[in-house]
Structures are given as C-alpha cells and as structure tokens.
Homo-oligomer: A and B are copies of this chain.
Amino acid sequence: MTDDCDSVRAVPRNGDEVRLRLQEAALELYLERGYDKTTAADIAARAGVTERTFFRHFTDKREVFFDGEAELRDLLTGAVAAVPAGTRPLPALRAAFHQAVPLIERHLPVTERRAPVIAATPALQERSLAKTAGLVAALTDALRARGVAEPLAALCAQVGMDTYSAAIRRWAADRGDDLHTHLDRAFNDLRLAANALK
C-alpha cells in the first residue's frame, strides 16, 4: 500500500484504482478467513472505502472474484472469427483456444491464488459455472456468425469448452507439458471417444 501520512481520506482518487484494491483485498481476505467468514464491509475496510462503495463497483460479493472474463471472451470470439473459412466448428474452436494460451499463462498467478478459494466455497463454484456458460454462449454466437447451424453451434461450443477445461485441469496436474500439448491431447481424446459412437 502507498497509504501514507496525514488523514483518513487521503487515498481515493481514481475509480479504477479503488476497483483494483477491492479485488486484491477480497482475494486476500477470502484466502485468510474463507469466503463465508469475510463480510463485504471487511473487504471495503481493507481497501479503504465504504461498504456502499464496494457495491457500486461490484454487483455481488461473488463478482469481485471474477474479472477479466470479458478479455478472454473477446479474444476467443475474435479468434474464432479469424479462423480460415471452411474450417469445421471443433477445429476452429481448438485453434481459438491455442490463441488464448498466452493470455491464460499471463493470468496464471492470479488464477492459481483463486483456485483453492473456489474449490472451498460452493457459492463461488456456482458463479464460476455461470461465467463459463457465458463464454459458451459467446462462442455459440461466434460459430453461428461463421454459418454453423443453431443446434450444432451450441453443442460444439459447449463440447469445445469442456475439452478446453479438461486440458486446463490436466495442465494444472502436470506442468511438465505445456498447455498447447494438453490442448491437443484433450481434443484428440475427444475425437477417439466420439469415434466409438455408432
């Protein structure tokens, strides 16, 4: 903190800065005491603002935990749009996820700090699922924009996201190989598993 000299309200200047302090304070407190044992007022106090200000920046006690999802969404939908015409939906998604690897790696430190908190609190798991569902909806739109028919677009977006999630999980358990490798491996597993149908 650059908390300094004189009085109580020396800190707040910029709205974005307050927002960042609130996110950091929330993460710290959730790690220290757990999500249930920390109140919105606690978070606000550590960030040097009022509870009311907390709820002006974040709609939720959960929402403060999930940020940067828009960045990933924009990157993925852009990548899907940029894939060569004629590419089938799942290969297009696989390519898009490969494009996202640098972003994922850049966010890794924060992601790793968040992980144990999410794992320990059902309320955050629910919100996490909702965020993922939002990504799937965006990918569905991106596929439709490429001319993929409605029912297939939704199915592929969802299945592609699951495969990506599986790759992330394996990567977390085995950092020996990089995310690109795990991604290809997971999509290959999907192909083999689906081949057994019919």
Are A155 and B197 CB-contacts (below 8 A) given A130-B126, A133-B129?
A: no
Looking at chain A's contact residues, is the secondary structure mostly helix, strand, loop, or mixed?
helix
A158 beta carbon closer than 8 Å to chain B: yes
Find out whether the CB atom of A190 lies under 8 angstroms from the CB atom of B129.
no
A114 beta carbon closer than 8 Å to chain B: no
A138 beta carbon closer than 8 Å to chain B: no
- What residue of chain B has the Cβ atom nearest to residue A62's Cβ? B126
Measured as residues with beta carbon below 8 angstroms from the partner, the interface class of chain A is 35 or more
Are A187 and B197 CB-contacts (below 8 A) given A125-B130, A126-B130, A170-B151?
A: yes
Q: Which of B129, B130, B158, B186 contacts A122 (CB 8 A)?
A: B130
Interface string of A150-193 (1 = CB under 8 A from B): 01101110110011011001100000000000000011111101
* Shortest distance from the beta carbon of A54 to any chain B beta carbon, whole Å: 20
Inside 8 A of A122's CB, which chain B residues have their CB?
A: 130
